[in-house]
Amino acid sequence: MSRHLLNRTFFKYIGLILVLSVMPLNAMAVDSDYFSSNDILFYEPPDTACTSIISSDHTSPASETNQDIAANFFTSTVFSGNNGQTMNAVQVAAIMGNLQQDSGFNPNAGEDGAYKGIAQWSSPGRWDSIADPKNDINNQLNFIKTELDGAYKDSLVEFWNASSPDDLNKATYAVARNYEVATREGRESSSTAWTNNTDAANNVLDMLRREEYASSFYDEFGSSADSGYETRSGCGGLASGGMSLLEAKQLMQLYKNLEPNSWDPGTAGTIYNINGTDCSGGPLANCVAFSQYFINRYTTKQYTYTANGSGVVSSLIGLGFTDGGHTPKVYSVFSQSTGSMMCGETPCGHTGVVLGIDTNNNKIIIGEAACGNTLDWADAREYDLVEYSNDAYTYAYTDNFLEDSL
């Protein structure tokens, strides 16, 4: 499996280099101009979020359209048929092209008819299984996941296998024919497998319109989808300059997908050297395990360390990583040495990875796990930047060992 950094698929690339210096503990804001002499990469969110149709206003969900909500859902939700990954650009475009044609993402579509909701589920029938209130967009999206993970998973092989632009029409047809069952009247027995555009148009209602919508969504998402989804599905993976919170959460989901709690030789647990880290929540719930995973997954170094979170940075510096002092930097690993929990005579501390920094809003995005908590707690979170820019935190910069430069 390749461990190379990939350009973000769902973002229109924006390379912004901003800078930061050590901030006093009582600092309340980040002055970008003041730090302009420091060669430190930071991430500022572009005008778009995970896809170019998702609102950049993360603080105002009410401003999002239903298309925004759907795209966000598909790029942040893992599906069992997709090998436990989130959807890639082609898959998202294919399913959204169908939903656009059938309902325009209106959860009230067909309210008084026999087919209802964003996917035009039959009523009575599949519609009745949607959680109440049935006209809630999130309840309908969750029902799509339930069906794609369940009764319709095996019939969507061509959709799950889609990864390149050449697969877009085939994936669109698979959703239309085998999930939405949008067959032309009297042709219910037509082929369930892709043959060509002519047959697809004959088999499925409004197939050409579905393809047009899917192509439009894909063009808007970005044109770099390819087989690279082996290492980066949807927005997950390392992106030059840092991640949005959504991307960071997807990376953490990929990490959590490394379950079960023990591995045989040659499996993910041994590849990433995290078998030796354990706690009541299991190996992956250990904060050290995630820092180990990040180093072993995304850098050229192999890192074995089974002590406390407070000692991770000093051990990485001993391995050749750059001492970052108390200044956070995108893709640096941190150690926090304070806390009430003691491991022998020293604080157990904490460790995690800086996955993004938003200097516009003075926020830092941290990927972390925590021993003693469940694996569900392992996640990416957004904190005030000032909280991570003081003497309680030390940083090891990973730039010199990342497999591709930022």
Half-sphere exposure of residue 141: CA atoms within 13 angstroms, side-chain side: 21
- Which pLDDT tens digit goes with each residue over 232-288? 222 234 666 777 787 788 788 778 877 654 566 656 666 677 766 667 777 788 888
In Å, how far are 146, 202, 205, 281, 382 from 96, measured between CA atoms? 17, 21, 16, 37, 29
Range 278-304 average pLDDT: 82
Specify whether the backbone of 206 is left (phi greater than 0), alpha (psi in -120 to 50) or beta: left
User: For residue 44, what pLDDT is reported?
Assistant: 34
Out of 99-108, 222-231, 300-309, 358-367, which region has the weakest mean confidence (pLDDT)?
Answer: 222-231
b/e string for 152-167 if b means 16 or more Cβ within 10 A?
bbebbebbbebbebeb
Q: Which domains does the chain have, with CATH numbers?
A: 63-230 (1.10.530), 245-401 (3.90.1720.10)
Flag whether the pTM goes above 0.75: no
Distance, first Cα to last Cα, the chain: 20
User: For residue 359, what pLDDT is reported?
Assistant: 73
183 has pLDDT over 50? yes
User: For residue 399, what pLDDT is reported?
Assistant: 80
How many Å apart are CA 222 and CA 171, to the nearest integer?
17
User: For residue 140, what pLDDT is reported?
Assistant: 95
Range 127-139 average pLDDT: 93
User: For residue 242, what pLDDT is reported?
Assistant: 79
How many Å apart are CA 117 and CA 111, to the nearest integer?
7
pLDDT band at 303 (very low <50, low <70, confident <90, very high): confident
How, if at all, do strands 363-368 and 115-116 pair? unpaired
Residue 153 has which token pair? 């998973």
Percent with pLDDT over 90 in the chain: 29
365 vs 399, higher pLDDT:
365
Range 26-41 average pLDDT: 33
Query: What single-letter amino acid sits at 323?
Result: D
149 has pLDDT over 90? yes
394 has pLDDT over 50? yes
User: For residue 118, what pLDDT is reported?
Assistant: 95
Out of 39-53, 173-187, 217-231, 387-401, which region has the weakest mean confidence (pLDDT)?
Answer: 39-53
- Which pLDDT tens digit goes with each residue over 339-384? 555 555 656 789 999 998 887 788 899 999 988 788 889 999 999 9
- Are 353 and 333 contacting, i.e. CB atoms less than 8 angstroms apart? yes
Half-sphere exposure of residue 261: CA atoms within 13 angstroms, side-chain side: 10
**For tokens 């929540």, what's the residue?**
281
How many Å apart are CA 228 and CA 390, to the nearest integer?
38
User: For residue 270, what pLDDT is reported?
Assistant: 67
2 has pLDDT over 90? no
